[in-house]
Amino acid sequence: MPPSARLTLDPAFRIGPVDPRLFGSFVEHMGRCVHTGVFEPGHPLADADGFRTDVLELTRELGVTVVRYPGGNFVSNYRWEDGVGPVHERPARLDLAWRSLEGNRFGLNEFMAWAAKAGVEPMMALNLGTRGVAEALELVEYANHPGGTALSELRRSHGVDKPHDVRLWCLGNELDGPWQMGHKTAAEYGRLAAETARALKRFDPGLSLVACGSSNSGMPTFGSWEAEVLEATYEMVDYVSLHAYYDPTDGDTDSFLASGADMDHMIRSIAATADHVGARLRSKKKIMLSFDEWNVWYQSRFGGESSLGWTEHPRLIEDTYDVTDAVVVGSLLITLLRNADRVGVACQAQLANVIAPIRTEPGGPAWRQTIFHPFALTARHARGQVLRVEPECAVIPTARYGDVPAIWATATHDEATGETTLLAVNRDRNAPCDLEVALPGGMRAVEHLELADDDPSAANSAEAPGRVVPRPGSGARVEGRRASLRLSPSSWNIVRFAPASPQE
């Protein structure tokens, strides 16, 4: 008999509301994310602004709600002024982050126009690496002030009459990392972030600000960095950032499938650190978390920045994702939802071509990678309140994270429709799992889709864009207050329940 598991879905057991900002993405001036990704004048499907309409359509289908821009490492050596005004007058610059040439044909106003067409909220990152408070204020004035000042009138002369009114700002990027232009100690960064935040709040107290947390949990200053930065900025910022990438290339597939355990530990650790600082400061404020870079990344295959040459928009870390990668991405989305009481923003990095759910060819097609599907379905159906779900199941021993639950799951309940959505991953690579779900009364099963394959290395491509897609699972059989279904080995699943009609 296959292993079995049980869980309960009860709308009374709530973690917190699903914040739409959990379904964010990331557009950085890196590789082909911008050029020949979202922006390609002359492409057969480009609109009058040069935006690829096939990528716009896929972005809407993906369900992206917020997009972080323009970096990433790129932002720490970026002059925003280079990307505004007449395109033919914009200077070409060296991008020291990715050793590339940046022609600045796509900048702030182009991004804002693209974001409006995509229907996403902009999340802007400020350069606090090689620049400081004055430059940050100038950018915010250019972007957000209605008119009557030098910078707001400059924006209007560039053809943008109304302010962009960006509400969400990142105070730099990964400044704990020695690879970052303008790398700083926690004390140096905390002072600069506090000065910048204080000035921005004077400009507009309603702005939401994100302080830089650790670049990853392996940093030697992980935890202590956040504590020192928040000591300086606590009352002036609204979020602290987390970043994590998971590399599948060491052959330890069981640990890779358990990547959500590491993400969960990171979230709980930084939430506890923030709360400790708040307690020390006797503050009633709660700092939320912005997990604004996360994904699967075959990082061990990347030769590092020093391996790159000075070229424009090179093909850079264009990872092809398989079924196992998609299952892991689905499990990371589950982890973010399980922590919806603390994670208020999350951005999968990146949107197009660079470790991305959407791939394109210059002048050619765009297609969905395997990781596109769990994101799109979760963004579409995870609504309302996140429910506390704790499966009773077997454990899987892993070299990296110890024993982890074989079933990793969460659920949401939408009071407006009465629909409950279960999201579940079976981490067991070798055996299916028979899952029993305790339900409220009067429910019916609407749909069970799974992402799984007999070949876990199967992937999509320009030639076979539909090789891996969600397919009907076993189906959930409902009898009274119980539903039963089977989860395939190494699979991501979405199961939707709705109120039964009186006849059912």
Report the catalytic residues.
174, 293
- CA-atom Rg of the chain in angstroms: 23
* Distance of alpha carbon 156 from alpha carbon 151, whole angstroms: 9
Say what the alpha-carbon torsion angle 241, 247, 250, 254 is, to the nearest 10 degrees: 90
* Distance of alpha carbon 274 from alpha carbon 255, whole angstroms: 28
Closest CA to 393 of 440, 437, 445: 437
Vertex 242: Cα angle to 351 and 277 (nearest 5): 155
* Distance of alpha carbon 387 from alpha carbon 13, whole angstroms: 6
Q: Which helix (H) or strand (E) holds 153?
A: helix 150-157
List b or e across 268-277, with b for residues whose CB sees 16 or more CB atoms inside 10 angstroms. ebbbebbeeb
What single string gives the DSSP state of each residue in 342-404? TEEEEEEE-SBSSS-SEEE-TTS-EEE-TTHHHHHHHHHH--SEEEP---B--EEEETTTEEE
Closest CA to 241 of 168, 183, 325: 168
Question: Which structure tokens are listed for 197?
Answer: 């935040």
Q: Where are the alpha helices (DSSP H) in 43-121?
A: 53-62, 108-118
Supply φ then ψ for residue 273, to 5 degrees.
-65, -45
Handedness of CA 385, 391, 396, 397 (dihedral sign): positive
Q: Which helix (H) or strand (E) holds 434?
A: strand 433-438
Long-range Cβ contact pairs of 388-391 (< 8 A, separation 24 or more):
388/13, 388/14, 388/15, 389/7, 389/8, 389/9, 389/338, 389/422, 390/7, 391/5, 391/6, 391/7, 391/424, 391/435
Q: What is the DSSP letter of 104?
A: -
Question: Which structure tokens are listed for 99?
Answer: 């050793």
**What are the strands of the beta sheet with 433-438, ordered from one edge?**
4-8, 433-438, 482-487, 477-479
Say what the alpha-carbon torsion angle 64, 77, 299, 337 is, to the nearest 10 degrees: -30
Please check whether residue 149 is in contact with residue 142, taking contact to mean a CB–CB distance below 8 angstroms: no
